[in-house]
Amino acid sequence: MKNKSPLWNVSTDNLHLYLAWGCPFCHRVTAALATTGLADRVTITWMKNIKNESGWEIEPMDDTLFNASTLAEVYKQVLPHGETGFSVPLLVDKNLKSFVSSNSIDIVRFISSGFNGRYFVNENLAPQNLQKKIDSLNSWIHEKVNRAVYIVGFSTEQKEYEKRVRELFSALDTLEDRLRNQSYLFGDSITESDLFLYATLERFDSIYFMLFKCTSRRIADYEVLSSYMNRLRSNEKLRATYDDQLTRVHYFLSTMHVRGEERELNPSKLIPISYLT
C-alpha cells in the first residue's frame, strides 16, 4: 500500500463498510475480512442486489448510520463537496461520519495489516518480505483481469472487442503458467493477490463468459486454473463469501453504468441457466 493512502492515518477502528454482494471489488474486501478473521471488527450496509438506472439503492432501514436510501445520499453526506463517482466499496468512520476510503486495494491492505496493527490476523495476506511483489501483482491482476473483463464486455466495436479479448486471455494464460508448479500465486500460502484473482474467476464461467462475451475459453477449460479454483473453494471461509445464484441475478438484471452512461447488457432480463446449478 502506498504511503499516501489515507488509511495509514486512520486512528479509529469504529468503521463501517458499504458493500454490494455482486461487485468483485467488494468481494476482495469481504474475502480479506473472512480469511483474516476480522469480519466482526467492521459493520456493513449492503446495497440492494439489483442496480437500477439511478445507481445503487439501499433497503429501507438498512442504513442505520445515515438513514440513506441510496449510495449517492451517503456520499453526499461524507463527501459533500466531493466530485467522485458513487462506488462501492466505501469505508467510513462511524464516530465522525466521515469518508475514509473507496479504494478497494487500499482497504484490503488495511484489513491485511489488522487495521494498522490493532488486531491479530488469522492469515497473513501480505507478508512484509513480499509486499512490494504483492503490490505489483495486485495492480497487474486489477488491470489485466479484474477490470479487463469489463472492458471486454463494454466494448462497442468489433476490432476493439477482439483486441481486448486477446489481451484478457493472454493474461489468463500467464496465470495458468505461473500456477503450474505452485498452489497459490506466491507459493504455498494465500495472499491478497489470490483474493483479487478469486473474485473474478468465480464469476467468469457463469457470468463473464456469457454476459461480457469473454468467450474464448472458460476457466473450466484451463487445467491449472481449474485446480487452483478448487483449492480456493475448499477454504470454507473463502467459499462463504460468494453465492453464484445471487451474483448472477445481480449481473443479468442490473443496469450497468459505463463511463457515466447507462447500459443494458441484457435487455431481455433473462437469467441463463448455469452449468454450475
Q: What is the pLDDT of residues 129-182, one digit of tens each?
A: 999 999 999 999 999 999 999 999 999 999 999 999 999 999 999 999 999 999
**What's the pLDDT band for 11 if we cut at 50, 70, 90?**
low
Q: If DSSP states are collapsed to H, E and C, what string results for 7-45?
A: HHHCCCCCEEEEECCCCHHHHHHHHHHHHHCCHHHEEEE
Mean pLDDT in the chain? 93
Q: What is the pLDDT of residue 182?
A: 98
pLDDT > 90: percent of the chain:
87
Q: Which burial class, exposed, middle or buried, applies to 96 when counting CB atoms under 10 A from its CB (0-12, 13-18, 19+)? A: exposed
Question: Does residue 247 register a pLDDT over 70?
Answer: yes
Q: What is the pLDDT of residue 1?
A: 37
Contacts of 91 (CB under 8 A, 6+ apart): 7, 15, 16, 17, 18, 100, 101, 102, 107, 110
**What's the pLDDT band for 253 if we cut at 50, 70, 90?**
very high
Q: What is the pLDDT of residue 260?
A: 73
Residues of the chain with CATH 1.20.1050.10: 128-241
Residues of the chain with CATH 3.40.30.10: 6-117
User: Do β-strands 90-93 and 256-258 pair in parallel, antiparallel, or remain unpaired?
Assistant: unpaired
**What's the pLDDT band for 277 if we cut at 50, 70, 90?**
very low
User: Which CATH number does 6-117 carry?
Assistant: 3.40.30.10
Q: What is the pLDDT of residues 56-78, one digit of tens each?
A: 999 989 999 999 999 999 999 99
**What's the pLDDT band for 84 if we cut at 50, 70, 90?**
low
Level-2 CATH architecture, domain 128-241: Up-down Bundle (1.20)
**What's the pLDDT band for 5 if we cut at 50, 70, 90?**
low
Question: Does residue 186 register a pLDDT over 70?
Answer: yes
